[in-house]
Amino acid sequence: MTEDFREIAAFDLPYSRKAQVREVTFDSGMKMTRLILREGKRITQVDLDADSARNLAAALIEGAGSGGNA
């Protein structure tokens, strides 16, 4: 199984952490948003469908709006 991806954003986060957001297209044509979190040698990768990506984005915006005290 192969996949193509397009880099959407990359962030340097507090405490030497990094985050990347990619659009991933699979062989079947299905597209998902991939969130990659890096903390030292640990890598967490999560593929999100469109609804899940929108819900996560809304939650992050809400948390940022409350000064990060969500």
Counting Cα atoms < 13 Å in the Cβ hemisphere of 27 gives 2
Residue 1 has pLDDT above 80, yes or no: no
* pLDDT given at position 68: 57
* pLDDT given at position 10: 98
* pLDDT given at position 17: 97
Q: H or E segment at 42?
A: strand 42-48
Question: pLDDT for 9-63, tens place per residue?
Answer: 999 999 999 999 999 999 999 999 999 999 999 999 999 999 999 999 999 999 9
**Cβ density class 43-68: b for 16+ within 10 Å, e for less:** eeeeebeeeebeeeeeeeeeeeeeee
* pLDDT given at position 3: 86
* pLDDT given at position 2: 78
